[in-house]
């Protein structure tokens, strides 16, 4: 069994636009190329890689799988990679999934495989004058993974609509800038640049809040009114149809990784540090994983609220009836939302 790791820079994929016609022939059964992003949010994929769970479940499905792991920053870059045919499975926010699901209906038919996490993303600022999103001025810049389309950018838009009304949903877009989470965290901690706020995930928001002079402006729980899936994995229908054993092995491995994290937070912390190469303190990572707000379950939660918002503002053309519309039927028997 061969498992290889390939890292691609975010710059190699950011800003690229691919036509559906450029999509090459689907990969043969037993080949799997996965793109992930930065942060503890993607821990289930780290566990899958570290413990070779895909290989384990591939054997149960009587197939050998050569796995390549790639990394980008932002849902836009992840979607570009999928549309180009350079990867098979993408891990990104539910917002990028809804975008690509809507735009590939009747063509590639991209849908979700499962959730990989429902975490409380926090908008952190180092500007003492910003207490609510209404306090941001032209002097502020808010870092997000992808302007306008990332999970954090959509959450900020929802917050704007809740405060100022339907016509003002994009009021803060002009203040957002695209930065990978590690770079944005350094900008917040340095306080020397134009970036004064960062909407991120774990562990970056914890690092920022540990610094003096930082505080939370709002978070995803407040915006969504409860726990909501933040990150998912998804793929094109053609790849799934052409690779049923590989797909099944991947989903089984993901389920096992989710169970492992819940049962073994300390072991999961070690996996994150080992796979990511992070220099974070182990006790901090364990504390984050033990936070009640951390959920690495595969069940989609509260995703329909975001889908309705994106349709209302014209970000997607199709209004899904339920979450099952944008997830493959392998998990339709689970009580998602």
pLDDT digits 0-9 by tens, 266-315: 999 999 999 999 888 999 999 999 988 889 999 999 999 999 999 999 99
Domain count, the chain: 2
**Same structural domain, 31 and 156:** no
The model's pLDDT over 107-151, given as tens digits with 9 standing for 90+, comes to 999 999 999 999 999 999 999 999 999 999 999 999 998 898 889
Q: Which two tokens stand for residue 55?
A: 């290989």
Per the domain annotation, does 4 fall within a domain?
Answer: no
- Write down the residue that tokens 């306080």 correspond to: 191
Q: What is the Cα–Cα distance from 181 to 231, expressed in whole angstroms?
A: 15
The whole domain housing 182 covers 122-224
pLDDT of amino acid 293:
81
**Same structural domain, 235 and 216:** no
Domain-terminating residue out of 166, 201, 224? 224
Q: Is the pLDDT of residue 212 over 60?
A: yes
**Sorting pLDDT into bands at 50, 70 and 90, what band is 29?**
confident
Per the domain annotation, does 3 fall within a domain?
Answer: no
- Torsion from C-alpha of 54, 56, 60, 61, nearest 10 degrees: 20
**Same structural domain, 96 and 150:** no
Per the domain annotation, does 85 fall within a domain?
Answer: yes
**Same structural domain, 113 and 238:** yes
Per the domain annotation, does 30 fall within a domain?
Answer: yes
CATH number at residue 302: 3.40.190.10
**Same structural domain, 113 and 127:** no
Domain-terminating residue out of 195, 224, 253? 224
**Same structural domain, 199 and 75:** no
């Amino acid at each position: 069994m061969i498992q290889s790791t390939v890292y691609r820079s975010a710059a190699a994929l950011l800003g690229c636009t691919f036509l559906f016609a450029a999509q090459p022939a689907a990969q043969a059964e037993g080949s799997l190329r996965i793109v992930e992003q930065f942060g503890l949010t993607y821990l289930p994929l780290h566990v899958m890689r570290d413990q070779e769970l895909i290989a384990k479940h591939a054997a149960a499905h009587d197939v050998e799988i050569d796995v390549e792991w790639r990394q980008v920053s932002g849902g836009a870059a992840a979607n570009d990679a999928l549309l180009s045919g350079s990867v098979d499975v993408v891990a990104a926010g539910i917002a990028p999934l809804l975008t690509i699901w809507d735009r590939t209906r009747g063509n590639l038919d991209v849908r979700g495989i499962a959730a990989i996490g429902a975490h409380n993303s926090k908008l952190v600022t180092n500007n003492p004058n910003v207490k609510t999103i209404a306090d941001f001025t032209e002097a502020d810049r808010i870092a997000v993974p992808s302007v306008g389309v990332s999970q954090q950018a959509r959450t900020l838009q929802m917050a704007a609509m809740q405060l100022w009304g339907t016509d003002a949903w994009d009021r803060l877009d002009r203040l957002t800038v695209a930065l990978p989470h590690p770079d944005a965290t350094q900008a917040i901690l340095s306080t020397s640049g134009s970036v004064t706020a960062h909407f991120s995930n774990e562990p970056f928001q914890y690092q920022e809040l540990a610094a003096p002079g930082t505080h939370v402006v709002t978070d995803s729980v407040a915006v969504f009114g409860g726990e909501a899936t933040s990150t998912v994995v998804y793929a094109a229908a053609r790849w799934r149809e052409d690779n049923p054993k590989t797909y099944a092995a991947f989903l089984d491995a993901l389920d096992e990784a989710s169970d492992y994290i819940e049962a073994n937070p300390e072991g999961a912390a070690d996996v994150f540090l080992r796979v990511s190469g992070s220099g974070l303190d182990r006790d901090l990572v364990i504390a984050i994983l033990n936070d009640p707000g951390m959920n690495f379950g595969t069940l989609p939660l509260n995703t329909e609220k975001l889908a309705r918002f994106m349709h209302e503002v014209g970000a997607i053309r199709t209004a899904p009836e339920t979450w099952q519309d944008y997830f493959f039927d392998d998990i339709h028997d689970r009580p998602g939302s």
